[in-house]
Structure 1
Amino acid sequence: MNQQFVVVDIETTGNSPKKGERIIQLSAVKMDKEKIIDQYTTFVNPGISIPPFIEELTGINKGMVKDAPSFDKIAPFLRDYIQGCIFVAHNVLFDLQFLQNEFERVGVPQFDGNMIDTVELAKIMLPTSDSFKLIELAESLSLSHDRPHQADSDALVTAELLLYLMDKAKQLPLVTLEKLADLAMHVKSDIDLLLDEIIEEKRKHIEDLPDDLEVFRGIAIKKKQTSVKTDNYRERYEYPETTEEKERLLTPFIEYYERRMGQFEMMDIVHTSFQEKKYAVIEAGTGIGKSIAYLLPSIYFACKERTPVVISTYTVQLQEQLLKKEIKTLSNLLPFSFKTVLLKGRSHYVNMFKFEQSLRERDWQYDSLLTKMQILVWLTQTTTGDVDELNLSSGSSVYWNRIKHDGWHLTKEKDPWISRDFYLQAKKTAQDADVIITNHSMLLTELVQDIKLFPDFSHLIIDEAHHLEQAARQHLSIKVSYNQSKFLLSRLGIYEKKQLNYQLEKLTEAQNITVKTHAFELDFMVHELDLAIDELFMMIGQFMQHSHHKKEKSLPKFRIRLTKENRNKYNWDKIKLGAEQIVALLIDIRKGIQERLDSLNQKSEQLNNKEKAVLEEIYGYSQELKELQLSIGALVIQPLDHHVYWIEGDKRALPNSISIQAQPVSVQLELNEKLFKKMNSVVLTSATLTIDQSFHYFKEGIGLNTGLKVTERSIPSPFPYQELTKLYIPNDIPEIQQVSIQEYAEVITNHLIGIAQVTKGRMLVLFTSYELLRLVHDYIKSCGLLEEFILIAQGITSGSRTRLTKNFQRFEKAILFGTNSFWEGVDIPGEDLSCLVMVRLPFSSPDDPITEAINEYYKQRGINSFTAHSLPEAIIRFKQGFGRLIRRSTDRGVIIVFDRRIETTNYGKAFIKSIPSVPIEHGNLSDIIDSIEKWL
C-alpha cells in the first residue's frame, strides 16, 4: 500500500447537512506512511449565520468567513485533491459523510476510496488511554495542538496522531498483528489495509521478541515479574519523630515544598495509633496533604513490624492517585524500599483461558470485536490483567462478562493458563506486600463476607471515610432489575448456536450422556421463565402507579418505598405468586444445567480446551442464576428484617426501567463486629467528618461508638479562606415552600443570569432536585440572554460526571449544573471555577425511601430524627459542596447560597459554623452583583 493518505477535518454550523447545516472551515493534509507532504486549508462561506455555540467552540466568526469562497467554488478542486488517497479523519464517518452530502448537493462526484478512522485506530493501539478525544490524545502524546476545533490545527494533529499510531502498530509482535488483522476485516474503517502492509514487512525478517514479552499458546503477553520480598532486616525503620526530621526527609523530593504542621500532626496520630493499637478519626481539611500524612507512618510501621497495612478508599481515582503520585514520591524519599499492591475482586481480572477460546469464535458483533483487539494489544503491556486499566466502550460489558475471572469450576490444574493467571498473581503479590491499596467494597467482601483474598492484616487506614456507611449499605444491598433479568435469560436457550444451553446440549450429546431433564423441557422452562419475568415486572409497574404520591405524579422518574402496609394492598399477593413461580422455574432450570455439568465434569479428560472453556462459562452463569433466584426470594417472597425496600424506574420506559431493591437500615452492628473489632488499629480520615466540632454523627453511623476508645482530631485547612472566598446570601429570593417550583425556578434563573454575566461564567450550580435543575436550565436557554455561554447540565448534556467537568473546563464562558454526585469529588482548580452556587441546602427528600426508613429507626428509639440524622447529613454534604471551590492555596472565588433557611432558621447557623470562617454578605441581586464584580 504505497499510496498516500489525506487527513481531513471540517468545522460546521451543526451536525446535519440534510437540515441545512454547512461547512465553515476545511483542511486536508496529504501524507505518506512516514511524513506530512502538503496541507490545503480554507474558510468556507456557509451562506447562513454561525450559531453562538459554534463560534465559542471554534473561535470562527462571521467576519472570518464573509469573503471566503462558498463550498460549490472549492468542491471540484477538493474532490481532485482527495481522490486516490485513503481518507482519514478523527471520527471519519462524520467528516466523510458530511463532505459526501455536500459534494452531492453541489453536483460534484463523491469520494470513492478507502477510509481510516483515527478514533477506532487509537482505541485499538492505545487501549489504556484515558480519552479518545483528539484534544486529550494530543495532550497525552505531547502533540502540538495550537487551536483545537479549528480545522487546520485539528487536521495537522490528526495526521501526527496517525503517524504515531502506525509506529505503535509496527512495534507489536507479529503474532499479535496477525490476530488483529483477522479481526480488523470486520471493523468500521479499513484498518486491515494498514495492518496487512506492516505484517508483510515483518514477515521479511526474523523477529526478535522484546525481553519482557513471551508468546504463550499463540498470544503475546508481558512476562510475569517474579515477586520477591526485599529482606530489609538490616534497614533502620526509625520513624521521623521531630519536625526537623520530617522536613529533612520531605524537602529534597517534594517540589515547592511548604511546611504543613497539620500534615505532621496527622502523621504522628497515625504512627501512635498503630504503635499503641488504638482507633482514630481524623478530619483533615483541604490542603493538609493527608495522603502522605497517613502513607508515610503506615510504610514505616509495615516494614518495621513486617506486617501489611491496608489502605481502603471509596473511589478508583484516589487509588490511582495514591499509586501513581504519592507512593511514587515516597519510594523516592524513604531511605529503604517497600512493596505496594493494588488488590481488587476477581471479576476485575481477565480469564485468559476464556479469552483464548473466544478468539476462535466467528463473532463479528462490533463491541466484542473491538474489545478483543484492545485486549490483544493491552496484553503486550499489562502486568496486572486488571480491566480498570482499559478504556472500554459501554457496549463491551457483555463481552467482558464472558471473559472475566469468576474462579475455577473445573479443577484449577485443567486451566492451561494457570501459571500465568492474573488473579492468582495479584493474590500472590499481596501476600508479601507492605502496603495493600483496595476499595471499601473489596474490604467489606473480605471482612463481612469472610472471603479470603488478603493476607492476614490488623492495621487499616480508611480514607474517604464519610462514604463508609453508604458503601456498607450498598455492599449489603440486594437488587433485581427487569433489564438485568432479561439479559441474563438472553444467554440461555436451546436452538441458537451462540447461547449457552445450545452449547451445553451439544456437549452432552457428543459425550453420550443420558439426562433426566430433556432438552425440550429445559427450553420450555426457559420460555416460561421469560414470560414470568415480563408478567412480574408488569405487575410491579401497575403497583407503582397505584402507590405513587400525588405530588410525584407529574415526575417521570419514581422511587417508591415498599412497606408492610402497601404490600398488603394493590395485589401484592399476585406479585408474590409471580415471584414464587420464577423462583421455582429457576430452581428447575439450574437442576437441569447442573445435571449436565456434573456429568460432563466427570468426563472432562475427554474434552478439548474449547469445550472446557464453555463449561467454565456455564458454571459461572449458573451461579448468576442462583443469585437471581435468592435475590427475588429476599426482595418479594420473604423480606428480610431491618431492611428498607423500594421500587424505582422511569414511567417513560416501563417495564424496562423498573428495579426492586433493599438495603439494611443500619450497618452499625455489622461494621462494629466484622470490621472494627477484628482490627488492632483503624484510622478513619476525610475532609468532612464533624458537625459543630463533634464526630458523634459519623461514629454513630458506622458503629464506632460502642465500647471502643477512639482518638479524635480535627485538623483545619491551612488555606487563608478569609482572603480566598466570600459567601453571599441574597435576601430577595422567596422561600421555596411559599411559591410554586416554576416561580422559584424563574427567580433563580434571573439571579443566575445576572451573576453569570459578572463572573463571565466559570460557575458551578449545585441543585438537590433534578426537576428544578431542568426547569432552570430550560429557562436560561429559552430566554436568550446567555447565548454566548455554554450550558452543561447533568442528566441533560450527555456524558459522565468526569466528561461534563472536563467539557466545562474547556470553554471560556461555561455554566455547569449538577445534582447529587456533583456535591463532592469534583476537582476544578484555578480560574476554571470562580463561582459556586448552592440553590438549596442539601437535605435529603423526606419521601426518599432510605431517608424515611432511617427517620423511623430513630423515632422508634425515641430520638429526634431531624437533629440526629437529617441535619447532620445535610451539613456534611454542605461542607463537601463548599469544598468544591477552593482546591489550591492560589484559588479564589465566591460562594452564593440561595436558600434563605441558612439565616431564617435556628439550624441555619449550624451550616455556617461547619465551614471555615469567611466574610458573609447579604443583599438584593443588584447589590450582590456589584459586590461580586468588585471582589473578583
Structure 2
Amino acid sequence: MTSIVSLDIETTGLDPMNDAIIEIGAVKFNGNRIEAEFSQLINPGRPIPQMITQLTGITNEMVHKEPPIKAIIQDFADFVGDSPVLGHNVRFDLSFLRRQNILEYNDIIDTYELAAVFLPTASRYNLGALGQLLSIPFPATHRALDDARATRGVYEKLIRKAGELPIDLLAELVRQGDRTDWIGSFALQQVLRARSREPIQARKALHVSSGPLFEKPAGKIVIGAEPENGNARLDIDEVSAILEHGGPFSKFFSSYEYRPQQLEMLKAIARSFSEGQHMLVEAGTGTGKSFAYLVPAAMWAMQTNTRVVISTNTINLQDQLINKDIPDLREALGIDLRATVLKGRSNYLCPRRFEMLRQRGPETAEEMRVLGKVMIWLHEGGTGDRNEINLNQSPEWDVWMKISAEDEGCKSETCLSRTGGECPFYRSRQAASIAHLIIVNHALLLSDVAAGNRILPEYNYLIIDEGHHMEEATTGALAFKVNQYDFDRLIHELGGLNSGLLGRFLIQLQGILLPSDLAAVQTTVRQVSDLAFKITSLNNQFFEAVDNFLTDQRDGRPMGTYPQQERIQNSTRTLPSWDLVEEIWYDESEELKEMLNLITGLIRAGSPDEENSNEELEDIIGNLATVASRFSEISSNITSLVSKPDSLQIYWIEKQPTSNRITLQMAPLHIGPLMEKHLWHQKTSVVLTSATLTTHGEFDYLRSRLNADEADELALGSPFDYENSALLYLINDIPEITDAYGYQKSLESGLVRLAKATNGRMLVLFTSYAQLKKTSQAIAGGMADAGIQIYEQGVGASANALLENFRGADKAVLLGTRAFWEGVDIPGEALSVLAITKLPFDVPSDPIIAARSETYEDPFNEYSLPEAILKFRQGFGRLIRTQSDRGVVAVFDKRLLTKKYGKLFIESIPECHMVTGSLSELPRTAAKWLNL
C-alpha cells in the first residue's frame, strides 16, 4: 500500500495572494499505521486577526519567535515526498502551499468530495460536522495537526464505507469519475484495486425506494374536493371532546395540557369547514395551533371523504406535521388517516433522466459529484425526494435540474412505460390523490393555482399555517431572475454539431432518418449553432450596456460594499443610457425568436414515431424542449423589463460588489388579487393562521395585503404568563440610531456587559448583516475574556447548525439577522436574554418595498409600520417558548420611547413586566430578573 499524507494549514485569512500560513500540520500514514507526524508554527510576518486567534487559539505571541515559511517549507516538502496528499477542501490548502512551489504533481484526495458522495444525506460537510457524524474525536480549536488527524479519521471511515459497496457500483463510480477531473477519483481507484479479484457483474439499475406512503391503503380510497353529502357538518361537541379533559388526547399524551385557547381555535375551524366560511386566526405562542387545526381537518376529511390541503412556509413545520403530529393524531384517535407531503416537480428525481445521465456519463466534476451522490443515495434506499440529500446551491442544483422531474413534457404514461411507474413525482401525485391531508408549502400553493392546478389534485378546503409569510413566499415563487451566467449555461447546454444536446441529437438520428433528411437536420443544427454564437456575442454587449447604465446611475463612482439595485420604471426607459440597452436587446430578441423557431422545427423533425421508439432520443428532445422553454421565458421577461412593462410587475437590476454579477429581476406588485381569484373566491373554506397576523390588535393590514375582505377573524392570546416570565427592558439613554458612531459604541459595550452579567445565553437580533459583522468583531475580545463563545450567522455553518451549537454551549451568544427573527425555538435556560438591536423596518430603497409603498397614500403608517410591527412580534416570540421559560427582552432602539409609533410596537406584544432604564442598569436588572 502507498503511504498517504494528511495535511492541514492555518492562515491569517482566505486569500492565498494576500494572506499567509501560520501553521502546518501533517500525518503520514499507511493503512492503520501512522508513520510520522509534522507540526510547525510559522511567523506570517503580519498580525494575526482576532477572529483567527479566536478560531485557532494561535496568538501573535505564539508565532513571534517561530521561523518564516521560507525557512521550513523544504523540510515539509521532503516530509511529503511524492505521497498522495489528503485534505479537507484540500484545494484551499494547496492554493497556499503551491505558491511556495511544492506539491505540484502529487495525487490529491479530498475528504470533502468523498463525503459529498458517500454521505449524501449528511446535513453538513465541514470537518467538525463529519467528525461528529462519524464518531471521530474533534478538538474545540482549529489547530493544523489536530485537523490533519481528524481528516485522516474521516478518510478511513469513508474508504471503509466505499469498500463495503457492491463491486459493480464501486466500479461504475470509478469509471464515471475517470471521465472528468473529479478530485475523488484517485481514492476510489485504490479501493477498487484492492478488491480487484472480485468479479464485477453487469451494470445494474438503481431503484427508487417506494417508502411506506405508497403501500396500498385500507378503507375508502376515492377522495373528493367536496363532501359526498352536501349537508355534511361536524358535531362541534364531539370534535371538542377530543381535546377536553378525559378525552383521547389527555389519555394518549402523558404531559398533556388543556388549553382553552386551543379548544376555541378548534371549534372555530370546525364551524368554518361545516359552514363553508373563510377565517383568519391569530393564535399566540403556546396555543398548540397545529393540533387545533389538525383535529378538525382530520375529522372533516374522514367523515366527509374530502381532502384538506395544509400549507406551511417552512420545511421544519412540514416535517413536524408529517413525522410527529399526524402520526400522534392517528394513534391517539385510532383512525386510518392518510397524509402526504407534495412538492414541486423539481424536488423529485426522474429515474428516466437519471439513467440517461448514467449512460452518457458526466461531463464535469459537478455532474460526477451529483451522479455519485445520487447513486449512493438510491443504493441506501433513497426515495427520490431532493430534500433528503445535501446539494450545494449553485452548480449542484444546476445538475440536479437535469435529472429532476422538471421535464414538463413527461406524462404519467411515459413514466409507466419507461420506469414502471417508479417516478417519485408521479408516485407522490398518486399518494396525494388518495390522501385525506395533503401538506404543501406556500410557494407551491400559489404557483400551482397560478399555473392552472397542474400539480395539486382538486381541493376546496385549505389551511394556511405561518400565514404571515404568504405574501413574501408567493412573491418569491412568482418572481423571475436571470443573469449572464444563466444565458451562457443554456447556450453551452444547447451545444452545436459536435457537442451538447444538439450534438447528441444528431448522433441519435443517424440510422433513423434518410440521408437527405439527416442532411437537412444537420443544416438546421448548423443554423442554430451560428445563431447561438451571435446571441452569445449580443448578450455580452447587452450586459455590458446594462453595466454602463448602472455606472451612469451611480455617476461613475466605484461600487460600494452593498449591491447596487436600480428599479426600472417608465422614467428610467427615457434615459439616454437606456437607449443602447433597448437597441441591443431588440436585436438579441429577434435572433432568439429565429433560434427558437428552428429548435421547434428540430423537435418536430426528430420526434420518433411508435415504430422507431428511442428512449435516449426522447430524453434529448425533452431536454431541448426544456431549454427552448427557458429561453422563451427569459426573452419574454427581459422584453417586459426593457421596453414593454406590465403595470402589475416590479422590475429592477442588481449588481453584486464582489463578483460584479448583474442580475435582471421582476416580481409581482400585488399577490392579493391572485389570492382573491384563486383562493378566497374559489375555495369553500380557507383558514389562515399564525402567531402574528395583527398589528395593534387589528387584522386590517393583513386583510388589505391578501385581499381577505370576506374572512371572519379570531384573535387568541397566549396561555403563557408573560407578566411574570418576561421582562421588557427599554433603554432610555442610548444614542439615537441616527448618531451612528455613538449608537454603535453603546450597543457594543452594552452587549458585552449584558452577556457577562447573564453568562451568555443570549440571542442578538440584527436588521443588517453588515452591522452584525461589525459588532461581532468589536465584541469578540470582551466576550472571549469572559469565556463566552460567539456564534455568528454567515460564518460557514447553517442556521440549524448554529442553533445546535448554541443550545449545547455553556456560555454563548448567538448573533443573527433575518433567519433568526422567527422560527427559532430554544426553550429553557439555553436562551434567557433576547437583545433587539433595531426596530425591523424594511429598507425603503429595496425595489419591492419601494414599489409597494407607492400604492399607499401614507406609505409609512399604512405599509412600513405594520410590516415592522409584525417582524418585531416575531422576534419577541423567540424568548418564551414554554410555560416554565423566564427571560429578558432588551431593546437597544430608543425610538420605542421617542417616537409616537413606539407605543404601537409595545401594545402589539403580550403584556409583560416592563422597565425603562439606563444602559448601565440593564446588566444588573437582567441578572436580578434571572435570579443570577
Range into which the TM-score falls when normalised by the shorter chain: 0.7 to 0.9
Instruction: Identify the residue that residue 229 of structure 2 maps to in structure 1.
Output: none
Give, in angstroms, the shift of residue 467 of structure 1: 0.8
Instruction: Identify the residue that residue 224 of structure 2 maps to in structure 1.
Output: none
Question: Within the alignment, does 1:310 sit opposite 2:309 as a pair?
Answer: yes
Q: 1:586 aligns with which of 582, 592, 595?
A: 592
Tell me: CA distance 1:561–1:51, structure 2 relative to 1, closer, same or farther (3 Å).
Answer: closer
Which structure 2 residues correspond to residues 429-444 of structure 1 after superposition, within 5 A? Answer: 429-444=431-446
Tell me: CA distance 1:381–1:702, structure 2 relative to 1, closer, same or farther (3 Å).
Answer: farther
Instruction: Identify the residue that residue 211 of structure 1 maps to in structure 2.
Output: none
The 8 Å contact of residues 44 and 65 in structure 1, kept in 2 or not, is answered as no
In the aligned structure 2, how far is the partner of 1:551 from the partner of 1:917?
Answer: 50
Counterpart amino acid of residue 661 in structure 1: M
Q: Relative to structure 2, which stretch is displaced further, 39-48 or 836-845?
A: 39-48
Identical aligned residues as a percent: 30
Give, in angstroms, the shift of residue 89 of structure 1: 6.2
The 8 Å contact of residues 282 and 686 in structure 1, kept in 2 or not, is answered as yes
Aligned to 1:858, the other structure's residue is in SS state coil
Aligned to 2:728, the other structure's residue is in SS state strand
In the aligned structure 2, how far is the partner of 1:774 from the partner of 1:791?
Answer: 12
Instruction: Identify the residue that residue 892 of structure 2 maps to in structure 1.
Output: 898
Superposed CA deviations along residues 141-198 of structure 1, whole A, max 9, x for unmatched, are: 6677786868999788777766764565466444433322323556424432464268
Tell me: CA distance 1:578–1:187, structure 2 relative to 1, closer, same or farther (3 Å).
Answer: closer
Q: 1:644 aligns with which of 645, 650, 657?
A: 650
Q: Relative to structure 2, which stretch is displaced further, 416-425 or 505-514?
A: 505-514
Aligned to 2:114, the other structure's residue is in SS state helix
Q: 2:118 aligns with which of 108, 112, 125?
A: 125
Give, in angstroms, the shift of residue 700 of structure 1: 1.8
Superposed CA deviations along residues 344-380 of structure 1, whole A, max 9, x for unmatched, are: 1112122222211212335352221111111111123
The 8 Å contact of residues 278 and 682 in structure 1, kept in 2 or not, is answered as yes
Question: Within the alignment, does 1:192 sit opposite 2:194 as a pair?
Answer: no
Question: Within the alignment, does 1:675 sit opposite 2:679 as a pair?
Answer: yes
Instruction: Identify the residue that residue 178 of structure 1 maps to in structure 2.
Output: 171
Give, in angstroms, the shift of residue 123 of structure 1: 2.5
Aligned to 1:456, the other structure's residue is in SS state coil
Give, in angstroms, the shift of residue 770 of structure 1: 4.5
Instruction: Identify the residue that residue 561 of structure 1 maps to in structure 2.
Output: 567
Which structure 2 residues correspond to residues 384-395 of structure 1 after superposition, within 5 A? Answer: 384-394=383-393, 395=395
Instruction: Identify the residue that residue 453 of structure 1 maps to in structure 2.
Output: 455
Question: Within the alignment, does 1:661 sit opposite 2:666 as a pair?
Answer: yes
Question: Within the alignment, does 1:911 sit opposite 2:905 as a pair?
Answer: yes
In the aligned structure 1, how far is the partner of 2:104 from the partner of 2:648?
Answer: 67
Tell me: CA distance 1:167–1:202, structure 2 relative to 1, closer, same or farther (3 Å).
Answer: farther
Instruction: Identify the residue that residue 853 of structure 1 maps to in structure 2.
Output: 851
Which structure 2 residues correspond to residues 217-296 of structure 1 after superposition, within 5 A? Answer: 218-222=205-209, 227-231=215-219, 240-242=239-241, 245=244, 248-251=247-250, 253-254=252-253, 256-296=255-295
Q: Relative to structure 2, which stretch is displaced further, 152-161 or 317-326?
A: 152-161
Question: Within the alignment, does 1:696 sit opposite 2:700 as a pair?
Answer: yes
In the aligned structure 2, how far is the partner of 1:152 from the partner of 1:793?
Answer: 25
Counterpart amino acid of residue 734 in structure 2: I
Tell me: CA distance 1:53–1:832, structure 2 relative to 1, closer, same or farther (3 Å).
Answer: farther
In the aligned structure 1, how far is the partner of 2:478 from the partner of 2:93?
Answer: 49
Give, in angstroms, the shift of residue 468 of structure 1: 0.8
Counterpart amino acid of residue 301 in structure 1: W
Instruction: Identify the residue that residue 924 of structure 1 maps to in structure 2.
Output: 918
Question: Within the alignment, does 1:537 sit opposite 2:543 as a pair?
Answer: yes
Aligned to 1:887, the other structure's residue is in SS state coil
Give, in angstroms, the shift of residue 871 of structure 1: 1.4
Which structure 2 residues correspond to residues 455-494 of structure 1 after superposition, within 5 A? Answer: 455-494=457-496
Superposed CA deviations along residues 452-482 of structure 1, whole A, max 9, x for unmatched, are: 3222211111111001122233333343333
Instruction: Identify the residue that residue 639 of structure 2 maps to in structure 1.
Output: 633
Superposed CA deviations along residues 605-630 of structure 1, whole A, max 9, x for unmatched, are: 44643333222211211111111122
Tell me: CA distance 1:540–1:805, structure 2 relative to 1, closer, same or farther (3 Å).
Answer: farther
Give, in angstroms, the shift of residue 441 of structure 1: 1.5
The 8 Å contact of residues 274 and 681 in structure 1, kept in 2 or not, is answered as yes
Instruction: Identify unmatched segments of 5+ residues in structure 2.
Output: 222-233
The 8 Å contact of residues 43 and 63 in structure 2, kept in 1 or not, is answered as no
Aligned to 1:379, the other structure's residue is in SS state helix
The 8 Å contact of residues 288 and 717 in structure 1, kept in 2 or not, is answered as yes
The 8 Å contact of residues 287 and 719 in structure 1, kept in 2 or not, is answered as yes
Q: Relative to structure 2, which stretch is displaced further, 781-790 or 877-886?
A: 781-790
The 8 Å contact of residues 25 and 44 in structure 1, kept in 2 or not, is answered as yes
Give, in angstroms, the shift of residue 82 of structure 1: 10
Superposed CA deviations along residues 305-347 of structure 1, whole A, max 9, x for unmatched, are: 2111111111222222322222333343231222221111112
Counterpart amino acid of residue 485 in structure 2: N
The 8 Å contact of residues 479 and 631 in structure 1, kept in 2 or not, is answered as no
The 8 Å contact of residues 443 and 473 in structure 2, kept in 1 or not, is answered as yes
The 8 Å contact of residues 479 and 665 in structure 2, kept in 1 or not, is answered as no
Q: Relative to structure 2, which stretch is displaced further, 47-56 or 721-730?
A: 47-56
Tell me: CA distance 1:295–1:750, structure 2 relative to 1, closer, same or farther (3 Å).
Answer: same
In the aligned structure 2, how far is the partner of 1:79 from the partner of 1:538?
Answer: 46
Tell me: CA distance 1:59–1:344, structure 2 relative to 1, closer, same or farther (3 Å).
Answer: same
Instruction: Identify the residue that residue 401 of structure 1 maps to in structure 2.
Output: 401
Instruction: Identify unmatched segments of 5+ residues in structure 1.
Output: 208-214
In the aligned structure 2, how far is the partner of 1:174 from the partner of 1:337?
Answer: 43
Tell me: CA distance 1:847–1:132, structure 2 relative to 1, closer, same or farther (3 Å).
Answer: closer
Instruction: Identify the residue that residue 869 of structure 1 maps to in structure 2.
Output: 863
Give, in angstroms, the shift of residue 43 of structure 1: 9.1
Tell me: CA distance 1:834–1:64, structure 2 relative to 1, closer, same or farther (3 Å).
Answer: farther
In the aligned structure 1, how far is the partner of 2:297 from the partner of 2:492?
Answer: 48
Which structure 2 residues correspond to residues 318-397 of structure 1 after superposition, within 5 A? Answer: 318-363=317-362, 365-382=364-381, 384-394=383-393, 395-397=395-397
Q: 1:426 aligns with which of 414, 425, 428?
A: 428
Aligned to 2:855, the other structure's residue is in SS state helix
In the aligned structure 2, how far is the partner of 1:193 from the partner of 1:653?
Answer: 37
Q: What is the Cα-based RMSD across aligned positions, in Å?
A: 4.5
Instruction: Identify the residue that residue 212 of structure 1 maps to in structure 2.
Output: none
Aligned to 2:630, the other structure's residue is in SS state helix
Give, in angstroms, the shift of residue 387 of structure 1: 1.3
Give, in angstroms, the shift of residue 682 of structure 1: 1.4
Instruction: Identify the residue that residue 226 of structure 2 maps to in structure 1.
Output: none
Give, in angstroms, the shift of residue 913 of structure 1: 0.9
**Aligned residues, how many?**
900
Which structure 2 residues correspond to residues 746-785 of structure 1 after superposition, within 5 A? Answer: 746-777=745-776, 779-780=778-779
Tell me: CA distance 1:529–1:79, structure 2 relative to 1, closer, same or farther (3 Å).
Answer: closer
Give, in angstroms, the shift of residue 579 of structure 1: 2.6
In the aligned structure 2, how far is the partner of 1:99 from the partner of 1:458?
Answer: 63
Give, in angstroms, the shift of residue 600 of structure 1: 0.6
Tell me: CA distance 1:259–1:425, structure 2 relative to 1, closer, same or farther (3 Å).
Answer: same
The 8 Å contact of residues 352 and 417 in structure 1, kept in 2 or not, is answered as yes
Aligned to 2:571, the other structure's residue is in SS state helix
Counterpart amino acid of residue 206 in structure 2: I
Give, in angstroms, the shift of residue 252 of structure 1: 5.0
Aligned to 2:576, the other structure's residue is in SS state coil
Q: 2:690 aligns with which of 686, 702, 727?
A: 686
The 8 Å contact of residues 478 and 663 in structure 1, kept in 2 or not, is answered as no
Tell me: CA distance 1:578–1:798, structure 2 relative to 1, closer, same or farther (3 Å).
Answer: farther
Q: Relative to structure 2, which stretch is displaced further, 772-781 or 472-481?
A: 772-781
